[in-house]
Chains A and B, each alone.
Chain A
Amino acid sequence: MADKEIVLTFEWDGKTVHKETNGFEGKACTEETAFVEEALRGRNQKRKFKAEYLHRAKEKLAQRVRA
């Protein structure tokens, strides 16, 4: 199992941060790393999920429809 990690990249504009998480399963990445966003008081959040997350979510939805 891959190590869980958070990678933060800071734009030099003094207000924009990019957060990337690796090694998490499903929604755990959002829940377990929320503390960083809370610390930074994230606002105007614009989530951009990676393709693998979207693919897994699509598969789950398809399974539900078939069931």
Chain B
Amino acid sequence: MSHTLDFETVISDQDALIRALVRMGIERDKIEVHEKPVLIRTYHNEDKKAHIIVRRNLVDNFNGRASDLGFEKNDEGLFVGHIDDFQYPGVTCYNEEWQQRLYTYCEVETAKISFEKKGMEYTETKDQRGRIQLRAKFKVIAPENKSRIKIHTTR
């Protein structure tokens, strides 16, 4: 018996976000994590704060970057990205495609973390359409072990 379910997601797991940034090629030691939000530098010099930050001068891949990359945790516990999507000839920074890849990796890492917490084993592959696929198996308790489980009750 089985079923399928499609749903939309949001970013709420800090570790998943950090793991996703690393998968996007940003070195872990260049990702700042703050308990309280701190100011970041944006293209228009707005007063924006973030908990997770990648400073513009710490990432070598995109020369000409004028903004920090920041993620602020809102009152609902969800991370909101402060991301400037600007493009120079020959240099593309944090555009829509980049952001979609990041958020997809966030989902993948969030799911992996939920499997790890349950002690489940999983594999990551790609399907025929190039989409990431996670396959996780539930641990099966052998019948002989099941019978050994003792249930203690207190009155």
Contacting pair A9 B5 (CB below 8 A): no
Instruction: Select one of B6, B102, B106, B111 contacting A36, CB under 8 A.
Output: B111
Contacting pair B111 A39 (CB below 8 A): yes
List A contacts of B12 (CB < 8 A).
Answer: 41
Instruction: Select one of A5, A19, A50 contacting B7, CB under 8 A.
Output: A19
Contacting pair B110 A39 (CB below 8 A): yes
Contacting pair B136 A5 (CB below 8 A): yes
Please count how many residues in chain B sit with their CB below 8 Å of the partner chain's CB atoms. 39
Q: Known: A36-B114, A40-B110. Contact between A46 and B7, CB under 8 A?
A: yes
Please count how many residues in chain A sit with their CB below 8 Å of the partner chain's CB atoms. 47
Give Cα distance in the complex from A23 to B4, angstroms: 13
Contacting pair A40 B107 (CB below 8 A): yes
List A contacts of B137 (CB < 8 A).
Answer: 3-5
A2 to chain B, nearest CB (A): 9
Give Cα distance in the complex from A18 to B135, angstroms: 12
CB closest chain-A residue, reference B103: A14
Give Cα distance in the complex from A40 to B103, angstroms: 11
Interface residues of B (CB under 8 A from A): 1-10, 12-13, 78, 99-104, 106-108, 110-111, 113-115, 118, 127, 130-138, 140
